[in-house]
Amino acid sequence: MAEPPVLPDKAPEPRRRLLSAGARGSLLSILRMAAALAVPIIGFLLLWLTFNFLRDSDANRLLVAVVAIVVGVGGIWLLYWGMDLLVSTVLPARIRESVRPAVFVGPALVILAVYLIYPAINTTILAFKDAKGENWASQGGLGNFIDIFTNSETLVAIRNSLLWVVIVPAASVIIGLAFATLTDKLGRRTESTAKSMIFLPMAISLVGASIVWGFVYSFRSAGFGEQIGLLNGIWTGMGNKPVAWLLQEPWNNLYLMVILIWLQTGFAMVILSAAIKSVPEDLLEAARIDGASEWKVFTRVVLPSIASTVVVVVTTITIVVWKVFDIVFVMTGGRFNTSVVAQRMVKEFFTFRNDGVGAALAVILFIAVIPMMVVNVRKFRQQEETR
Amino acid sequence: MAEIVLESLGKIYPDGTRAVGDVNLTIEDGEFLVLVGPSGCGKSTVLRMVAGLEEVSEGTIHIGDVLVNDVPPKDRDIAMVFQNYALYPHMSVFDNMAFGLRLRKMDKEEIRRRVEEAAAVLEITDFLGRKPKALSGGQRQRVAMGRAIVREPKAFLMDEPLSNLDAKLRVQMRTELGRLHGRLKTTTVYVTHDQVEAMTLGHRVAVLKAVTAKRPDNLQQVAPPSELFYNPANLFVAGFIGSPAMNMVTGHLEGTGGEVFAVFGPHRLRVDAKALQRHPGLEKFMGRDLVIGIRPGDFEDHRIAGEEPERTMEVKVDVTEVLGSETFVHYMVPVAPVVTPEIEELLADTGSDPATLGDETKFSSRVSSDVAIPAGGTARLVVETAKFHFFDPETGQRIGYRPGAFSAA
């Protein structure tokens, strides 16, 4: 910070000398100012024209894509460069360095505001309005929230979401931790094979995973063909009657949670495994010599050492769980008392066309996620500091 | 407190490489034994096998009267101090020291008493509430020591505990460690590569060498420090102990009229009878090639030692280093360097010819600074030939070596 202010102070001196020699210096600075103004304007116009042209053209899609990338990247670069030039030449030296960061961060902030902050505020306002978003909701605007907390269906969704939030992160982390600890004892080759198999589900989308598990839980009533579901295959193989797993309230909620646990365990395992490996070996040896059993070594030395990573993993998975929609949507559509908040929200918006209640559910979700985010970011920073 | 007995101890890693072989060692109750050797000599592996952190491939380990080969470390009742201390970062100093005691379900008051007592001895009472992160290297080292002391174990195992400290602190902690052992009298096995630490701390010092295909045993000599210096078993120990290292040169002995002369290059020195007495069986080597070892400290300038023509080497000085009270004189002796069994093996590995080592042997001498010796000039150095060492060039063993047979003069 000490250096930049020095440069502008020195720069004007030779310019002044040039001025005394002739008018060339002032002409030069005028030209530079003009360029500084022109470059961002040209850059912006270029981008705007290309966007319009590409939007309306019937040209080959591939060609459009290539042109868009070239002009887009080049134009953005030109825009940033031009803005920087503008700051360096037009602005007085005093405020130059305080404005410069804003030029670079500004566009990102604008995009963030337009696509994130504005919708968030808008949704919050919608939450206090009626189904069509025209008038304020009943009960002085709180009608939607009162509805949500009195309607038995939305209450079920909230209850289920709370169950998901407790069970899925806990199960994922415990199983992930177990895998991470156990694979750590394997040889290098077997360890990486075992870990990639557990991590593999992470690569599958929630919808894809739901379809896969749809087959696992698949059920046909007796007399309507052979059981193709894995679970019923095993179940009937043991001499039992086929079961419609997804109709078994309240256990069907648990069956749906298994899908997300299956997906998130790999994530938990990979992160925790890295954390476990970063615990120095001689720390474990010291504990063993101090008289600790392997279990005590794990609970008294390893676990405290990776505590902040565990918190980050738990909060990250919790956020995913609050937002889960796809699994319920694909598997049951929220029937049989399996709905969750995010899935209910989509239903309110798009099936019932009740924007007010939908927005109110979104606000509830948002409020539920905030503490997780705060903890997550704080722990992450702590981790970075200790690294 | 207990005796530790290692019998034919060996370690072979799963990939087939041997790290330790045929180590036989009895560490007496209350003894401070130092394992010393260059890196890769297996000293840490021996220690880790005693701790139970490495599996024993061959032989047996007894702590007290118990065979501990298959006893997990937690049940061996030993304490270990690690090179980088291995303090639990999430625990306070007090909890670090109390950890082992709490695992043993010791009474709370007793834990408090022991920790506070050890903290007082180590002068870390003020830091008991701090986390290891908030401590300096020296303080961490003390905490690591404290964690071992409070356990009151059968034995302390220390794996280069001072090597992460700066030079000044290392010397200070070394002295404290010696004092601490004098007070606690707990059997201690101490690993280091630093011969000064080994010589100053050890009641006895075990010198180890990396195993080779030809010589699959590490242990070279186990003896009190001064015996290692005055009565080395072989070329390796003679070269490893002492700084600067012993001068070694190939030569032979000539006997004329009851006198024996050591001849190497242009030098011919009368060997004192004491040196002959210290090497029984030397007469068999008369006239044959042998390795002559002379400590740098066994030289003196002729102006101080007095004229002794039969014991004087006239040399052309390369470099002198004046260190206040003494001066190191470096020069060459025109004889091809000694090829020890280790060097021979090294040369075979790299496929080099011994001739590539050149045809001159480096010598260094430590003489008094009272007289000036100019570099580039000629110096006449009188040699204390009573302290000569003679080695068998074939085996590298000292001729007539007998354990325990030495006198400082």
Q: Which tens digit of pLDDT belongs to each residue from B274-289?
A: 888 889 888 888 888 9
Neighbours of B289 (CB within 10 A): 13
Q: What is the pLDDT of residue A387?
A: 52
Q: How far is CA A220 from CA A112, A213, A226, in A?
A: 49, 15, 7
Do the domain assignments include residue A4? no
Average pLDDT over chain A, rounded to whole? 83
Position B115 scores a pLDDT of 93
Q: Does residue A357 contact residue A144 with C-beta atoms inside 8 Å?
A: yes
Under DSSP, the state recorded for A351 is I
Question: pLDDT for A144-160, tens place per residue?
Answer: 888 888 888 888 888 99
Average pLDDT (A218-226) is: 73
Task: Say if residue A161 is in the same domain as residue A122.
Answer: no
- Report the SS3 class of residue B201: helix
- Is residue A136 domain-resident? no
Q: Which residue of B has its CA nearest to A294?
A: B74
Which residues in chain A touch residue B161, judged by CB atoms under 8 angstroms apart? none
CATH number of the CATH domain containing A286? 1.10.3720.10
* Domain match, A118 and A151 both: no
Is the same domain home to A121 and A193?
no
- Within a domain: A250: yes
Closest chain A residue by Cα to residue B88: A283
Within-domain flag for A137:
no
Q: Both A89 and A161 in a single domain?
A: no
Higher per-residue pLDDT: A244 or B174: B174
Q: What distance in Å separates the CA atoms of residue A242 and residue A230, rounded to the nearest whole number?
A: 11
Do B99 and A296 make contact, defined as CB atoms within 8 angstroms? no
Answer whether residue A11 is part of any domain: no
pTM: predicted TM-score of the whole model, two decimal places: 0.76
Range of the domain at A202: 143-386
Q: Chain B within 8 Å of A301 (Cβ-Cβ)?
A: yes
Q: Are residues A172 and A31 in the same domain?
A: no
Pair A114, A204 in one domain: no
Q: Quick one: pLDDT band at residue B378, thresholds 50, 70, 90?
A: very high
The pLDDT-based confidence of A4 (bands split at 50, 70, 90) is: very low
Note whether B364 and B330 are within 8 A (CB).
Answer: yes
State the total domains in chain A: 2
Flag whether A13 is in a domain.
Answer: no
What is chain B's mean pLDDT, rounded? 89
In chain B, pLDDT over 90 holds for what percent of residues? 58
Tell me: the pLDDT tens digits for B157-181? 999 999 888 888 889 889 989 998 9
Distance CA A198, CA A177 (A): 12
Q: Please report the residues numbered 261 through 290 in chain A whose beta carbons come closer than 8 angstroms to any beta carbon of chain B.
A: 280, 282-283, 285-290
Q: How close, in Å, is residue A326 to chain B by CA atoms?
A: 41
| Boundary of a domain, candidates A126, A158, A178 | A126
B63 beta partners: B4, B66
* Shared-domain flag, residues A239 and A286: yes
> Does the residue A277 lie in any domain?
yes
Same domain, A76 and A165: no
- If you write DSSP's letter for every residue of A74-127 in order, what string do you get? HHHHHHHHHHHHHHHHHS-HHHHHHHHHHHHHHHHHHHHIIIIIHHHHHHHHHH
pLDDT band for position B407 (cuts 50, 70, 90): low
Structure confidence at residue A176 (pLDDT)? 93
> Taking the mean position of all CA atoms in its chain, how far away is CA A26?
52
Could you give the C-alpha distances from A130 to A139, A341, B302, B326, in angstroms and in order? 11, 19, 112, 99
Residues A203 and A340 in one domain: yes
Read off the pLDDT band of B45 (50, 70, 90): very high
Residues A56 and A150 in one domain: no
Amino acid at A227: Q
User: Taking CB atoms and an 8 Å limit, are B103 and A291 in contact across chains?
Assistant: yes
Which tens digits make up the pLDDT trace of A353-373? 888 888 999 999 998 888 888
In terms of domains, do A111 and A184 share one? no
**What interhelical angle do A152-184 and A188-199 show, nearest 10?**
170
- Residue B295's pLDDT band, with cuts at 50, 70 and 90, is very high
Q: Is B124 helix (H, G, I), strand (E, B) or coil?
A: coil
Whether A108 and A161 share a structural domain: no
Choose one of A72, A101, A126: the last residue of a domain.
A126
Least CB–CB distance from A291: residue in B86, B90, B100: B100
Residue B127 DSSP label: G
Contacts of A301 in chain B (CB under 8 A): 88
Which chain B residues contact residue A293 at CB under 8 A? 74
Domain boundary, last residue among A126, A156, A188: A126
Sheet of strand B66-67, all strands in order from the earlier edge strand to the far edge? B18-27, B4-12, B58-63, B66-67
**Could you say which of A280, A292, A293 has the minimum Cβ distance to residue B86?**
A280
pLDDT at B248 > cutoff 70: yes
Residue A10 lies in a domain: no
